[in-house]
Amino acid sequence: MANITDIKAIIYTEKSLNLQEEGVIVVQTSTRVTKNSLKEIFREYFGIKPLRVNSMRVRGKVKRFKGVEGKRADSKKFYVKLPEDAKIESLSV
């Protein structure tokens, strides 16, 4: 089962800030998190039941550093639609 520590970051880009005005939060997590487990995390830790959760798998890029090739870790990106009255103060900009 997923835990709150599986949430790596809240993504703040131009697109995600525009979505935040509509009540959608973009979350980057580890690859083992599922839609249902992310809903459980939001219910347990934030006390909010998400209306909708969309997911996207992000494959890690292959990068080169000082001639040595390496790969960034894979992750998942979730778009979490919150109810109209729900606000998470620690997550908003």
Domain carrying residue 12: 4-63+70-77
Please report whether residue 83 resides in a domain.
no
Show the tokens assigned to 72: 């960034």
Rounded-to-integer distance, Cα 17 and Cα 1, Å: 29
What's the rounded Cα separation, in Å, for the pair 73 and 16?
A: 22
Residue 86 belongs to a domain: no
> In the sheet that 7-10 helps form, which strands lie side by side, from edge to edge?
7-10, 24-29, 75-81, 52-58
pLDDT per residue as tens, the chain (93 positions): 678 888 899 999 999 999 988 889 999 999 999 999 999 999 998 888 999 999 999 999 999 999 999 999 999 999 999 998 777 766 555
* Domain count for the chain: 1
34: left (phi over 0), alpha (psi -120 to 50) or beta: beta
Q: What is the pLDDT of residue 89?
A: 66
- Indicate which CATH number applies to the domain containing 51: 3.30.70.330
**CA 7, CA 38: separation in Å to the nearest integer?**
9
